Amino acid sequence: DIQLTQSPSFLSASVGDRVTITCRASQGISSYLAWYQQKPGKAPKLLIYAASTLQSGVPSRFSGSGSGTEFTLTISSLQPEDFATYYCQQLNSYPPTFGQGTKVEIK
Amino acid sequence: EVQLVESGGGLVQPGGSLRLSCAASGFTFSSYAMHWVRQAPGKGLEYVSAISSNGGSTYYANSVKGRFTISRDNSKNTLYLQMGSLRAEDMAVYYCARKNMTTHDAFDIWGQGTMVTVSS
pLDDT, tens only, B56-78: 999 999 999 999 999 999 999 99
- A4 forms bridges with which residues in the sheet? A25
CA distance B48 to chain A (A): 8
Per-residue pLDDT at A107: 87
Rounded Cα–Cα distance for residues B94 and B103 (Å):
22
Q: For the residues A83-100, what does the mean pLDDT come to?
A: 97
Would the pLDDT of A106 be above 90?
A: no
A50 close contact with B: CB closer than 8 A: yes
Contact B34, B98 (CB under 8 A): yes
Numbered residues of chain B with Cβ closer than 8 Å to any chain A Cβ: 35, 37, 44-47, 50, 59, 61, 95, 103-108, 110-113
Chain segment A47-74, per-residue pLDDT in tens = 999 999 999 999 999 999 999 999 999 9
Tell if the CB–CB gap between A49 and B106 is shorter than 8 Å: yes
Closest CA to A32 of B99, B64, B4: B99
Could you give the percent of chain B with pLDDT greater than 90? 98
Query: Sign of the C-alpha dihedral, residues A69, A70, A75, A78?
Result: positive
Q: Which positions of chain B have pLDDT values less than 70?
A: none
Interface of A with B in 10-29 (CB under 8 A): none
CB nearest A46 (choices: B44, B50, B107): B107
Cβ distance A101 to B45 less than 8 Å, yes or no, reads yes
**By the CB < 8 Å criterion, does A46 face chain B?**
yes
The three-point CA angle A21-A65-A31 to 5° equals 115
Give the residue from chain B lying closest to A93, CA to CA: B105
The verdict on a CB contact (< 8 Å) between B106 and A45 is no
